[in-house]
Structure 1
Amino acid sequence: MQTLFKNETLQIFIIAIMTAFAGEFKINPFHGEIFRLGLGASTLLLFLLLMQHLPFVRTGAVTGLVVVLFRMTEDAIFFPGAFSAASSFLNHLAGGVFYVAFALGMSFIQMRIAALQPLMLGVIVSAIDLLANETELFTRRLMEGMSPFHNNGIVLLGAIAVLRSYFIIGLFSSITIRQMRLIQAEQQKRIEQMLHIGSGLYGETFYLRKSMDTIERITASSFELYSKLKSASLTEHSRQALGIAQQIHEVKKDSQRILAGLTKLYDREIAQEMNLEEIFRYVIKANQTYSEMLKKELTIEGDLKVDFSTSHYIVLLTVLNNLVANAVEAMNRYGFIRICAFDRGDRTVFEVVDSGKGIPERDRQMIFEPGFTTKFNQDGVAATGIGLSHVRDIVGSFGGEIRVATPESGKGARFIVALPTITLRKGA
């Protein structure tokens, strides 16, 4: 709390100093009067709009005091022979009153600034500016023994108040819009990262579910072996088989706990649904970045002939992202990849077409088999990823099918995924 207070006090003091300096850029609209119109009011207004967490009244009071002391210091430096502290204080006191009055007026709308439209905010701030100027003139005339009421230049003061209020509000709005765009860009970046993680986790949970099915079958076989060995009075061997079954069962329980945790992670929905256009945009952007990371100059395009919202966006992201990533990895430095979506009867068809070296006819029956890959790095290590076998299994789990063909151009590879539209569509 003490640190916060110190920081707040420092912020107010900096505002006061900068306002005092800005106030020296001024004009005197009324000949023969010390009354001035400077950039100080505009500077204070901009800071109040940008730093709405500060107490406006205290900021105005400190600013008014600093402005008076600043102008007294100027008098002492530039007019040392004729300087009188009391006289100088009285000459500049009304100027300090302006900032107090202005900040006091702004305090009445402090909690509503964010809700006010710029046009209405400009009207209110212009009125506050005009009233603060009138308060300064009233104070100055009262101290000089003149009639405090006047009608000199009120139209001019009003026009200046409107001009500088709308100018500062326009500047503030521009700054706010830029900040919002930066925040939106950062949020979009985080959403994309979460989608990428969710897509990866979905693939991993699919692996784990398949492994658990295998574990379940091994457990059943081990227990069956135990029963047969026990019936044959092979006690030692039957106990060993039972021990294996128990250990495998423990592995299964651990896997279930891990699966539950992973499912929770990717089931934390970023949105209730996404439309196909958003999914395509993400896949293209993510893999364009991936291709640049691999120092490849690839053009990745989308061709969307159908669009609808789906709650199964993680599934589509997993499938399309892996197919496009595979194409990126398999291609040379230059080329293009096109992602298409269109209706075909009761199915939505997705195609990933690339201009790479293609897949030999002899490998087309093998590429969907577990462990098959044609991608090796320069050290001879096989590529990682969920693999086409698991892409096929994910597609199959949604009642769809996947196959590979040669593009119409005769060059490259063309993966075709057909999924039931009724399963994909929102609310289906």
Structure 2
Amino acid sequence: MIALIIVSDLLHLFEMTSSFFITLSVPVFLLFLLYFHFLSPVISGIAVGLAVFIFRTILSVIDQLPLMDALLFHAPVVVFFVVYGVLFWLFYLQRFYSNPVYIGIYAIILDTFASIAELAIRNSFSLIHPSFSLMTAVLFLAILRNFFVMGFFMLILYNKEQIKHEEKKKQSDHMFLLIADLYAESVQLKHSITKAEKITSNLYYLSKEIKEDVSPPLSKKILEMAGEVHDFKKDHQRIFASLAQIIKDQKKTEQLNICKILEIVIKSNKSYAAFLEKDLVISVTVANKKDIIHSFLSMSVLNNLIGNSIEAIEKRGHIDVTIENSDPAGFIHIQVTDNGPGIHEQNQSFIFSPGFTTKFNNEGRPSNGIGLSYIKHSLEKFNGSIKLVESKPNIRTCFSVILPREISLDPKEVY
């Protein structure tokens, strides 16, 4: 701070007399006090005043002015910065941080009174004789330089608010993606719970039949298995209840603008593509950009399909998302197309089956394969649908989705 103020002190805006200058050091000092709240205005005023005093004295001595005269000429500048710091502390300007107009008014008062204090000391040393024209000039220049300070400070505030806004938006988008993923998992989890209930019931009745007709020990073993599946189901129900509550708490984001949803999805998947070191172009075409649709299901569907395309494409390629949503009622039509390797004809009838996958990691382990099966399962619960339109290797692979506009957010209502 001191180094920058000393450099700015060399820039004289106006030389009132041979010993009284209007420089840029004061605006720089004000900006530091406003921006860095941890700085003590009084201590900073003393430190800056002494630094400027020593700096000006050295320059004057180099310029062949006797040391005592140089000390006398420049000593009053210490008074200026000390008075400025004390007044800043008394007015506590930082409380008006969000209102630059008030800061500007008080800064002019601080500047003017500090200048009057310096002029009073200079007058007592017989270095200057204050006059009405001099005081008018001091006030005018205080207004002028603080006007520029406030303009610069407002730019700083604006930039800071933009950064905060972007950070909040990033956090909000991240949370939104997380909730969409939780929504997808909750639907899949509920499906597993339902299956577990059926398995428990079947095992229970099987144990009764075996006990009566065949083998009581085997019946007992099957009954124990039914109990284990039942405990498994209860654990999943507790997890599902927690997920359902989280999703319920986010009900305010249930309906969102289609462009907002696409913005979040595309940004996320571009980052995913970059992480996989793939050069992909993702293009979007939307018929009605003002459309408001269900957020979590649509985002989950888009994320799964675009993510699958990204993983399928080897190094570089393009993904096209087309949304036909001109009709405000009923359903919207989504198409996701890529130029990846496609899906072999013998696999096309199995791609929506739970557990089916063509993706394997470096150790040869398959993925869980719930992506497309989840999408199909979720959409069909709301009378929607998904189908593979065509698959031409390295030319065009296209999935078509019919997505309902009105669905229930709470996964409890899905089954």
Render the CA deviation track for 1:68-114: whole Å, top value 9, x for unaligned.
Answer: 56656777x75999545xx8766444212211332344342514432
Counterparts of 1:262-411 in structure 2 under 5 Å?
262-264=243-245, 269=250, 272-273=253-254, 274-306=256-288, 307-310=290-293, 312-343=294-325, 344=327, 346-359=330-343, 362-376=346-360, 381-384=365-368, 386-406=370-390, 411=395
Residue 136 of structure 2 is aligned to residue 152 of structure 1: no
Task: Decide whether aligned partners of structure 1 residues 412 and 38 sit closer, same or farther in structure 2, where only a CA change above 3 A counts.
Answer: same
Q: Which secondary structure state, in structure 2, belongs to the residue aligned with residue 373 of structure 1?
A: coil
In structure 2, what is the Cα distance between the partners aligned to 1:233 and 1:366? 38
Alignment identity in percent? 28
Equivalent pair of 2:183/2:247 in contact (CA under 8 Å): yes
Give the C-alpha shift of residue 133 in structure 1.
Answer: 1.6
Task: Classify 1:244/1:146 alpha carbon distance in 2 versus 1 (closer, same or farther; 3 Å).
Answer: closer
Report deviation, 1:405: 0.9
Alpha carbons 1:203, 1:386 under 8 Å: kept: no
1:179-198 equivalences in 2 (<5 Å): 179-198=160-179
Query: In the alignment, is the contact (CA less than 8 A) between 2:76 and 2:118 conserved in 1?
Result: yes
In the aligned structure 1, how far is the partner of 2:128 from the partner of 2:114? 19
Aligned twin of 1:416: 400
How large is the Cα RMSD of the aligned pairs?
3.6
Aligned partners of 1:218 and 1:300: how far apart in 2? 43
Contact 1:28 1:34 in 2 (8 A): no
Equivalent residue number for residue 12 of structure 1:
none
The CA deviation at 1:361 is: 5.2
Q: Which residue of 2 aligns with 1:237?
A: 218
Residue in structure 1 matching 2:45, options 38, 53, 60? 60
Change (3 A) 1:24 1:42: same
Helix, strand or coil at the partner of 1:370: coil
Q: 2:36 aligns with which of 29, 38, 51?
A: 51
Residues 126-172 of structure 1: CA deviation (Å, up to 9, x unaligned): 3432332223212321343976x521334433443233223333333
Q: Which residue does the alignment assign to 2:412? A: none
Bigger shift: residues 150-159 or 94-103: 150-159
Deviation at 1:241, TM superposition (A): 3.0
Which residue of the partner structure matches residue 23 of structure 1?
9
Query: What is the alpha-carbon distance in structure 2 between the residues aligned to residue 204 and residue 423 of structure 1?
Result: 17
| Deviation string, structure 1 residues 268-297 (Cα, Å, up to 9, x no partner) | 639634321011112222222323333333
TM-score by length of 2: 0.81
Q: Any idea what SS the aligned residue of 1:405 has?
A: strand
- Give the CA deviation at 1:62: 4.5
1:137 matched residue in structure 2:
119
* Cα distance in 1 for residues equivalent to 2:87 and 2:258: 51
User: Can you list the C-alpha shifts for 1:219-250, whole angstroms capped at 9, x where unaligned?
Assistant: 21222233334545954334333322222222
Candidates 91, 98, 117, aligned match of 1:115:
98
- Classify the secondary structure of the residue corresponding to 1:422: coil
SS in 1 for 2:263: helix
* Pairing 1:158-177 to 2, within 5 Å after superposition: 158-177=139-158
In the alignment, the residues of structure 1 paired with residue 82 and residue 161 of structure 2 have an alpha-carbon distance, to the nearest angstrom, of: 31
Between Structure 1 and Structure 2, how many residues are aligned? 403
CA distance in 1, matches of 2:324, 2:157: 41
> Would you say the 8 A contact 1:197–1:266 is kept in 2?
no
| 2:184 matches 1:203 | yes
State the shift of 1:319 in Å: 0.8
2:93 and 2:106 in contact (8 A); partners too = no
In structure 1, runs of 5+ residues without a counterpart are 1-14
TM-score by length of 1: 0.79
Letter of the 2:218 counterpart: H
Q: Sort the Cα spacing of 1:291 and 1:18 in 2 relative to 1 into closer, same or farther, 3 A.
A: closer
Structure 2 CA distance for aligned equivalents of residues 304 and 257 of structure 1: 40
Q: Deviations over 1:10-53 (max 9, x none)?
A: xxxxx45654564355477233x422222321221110121134
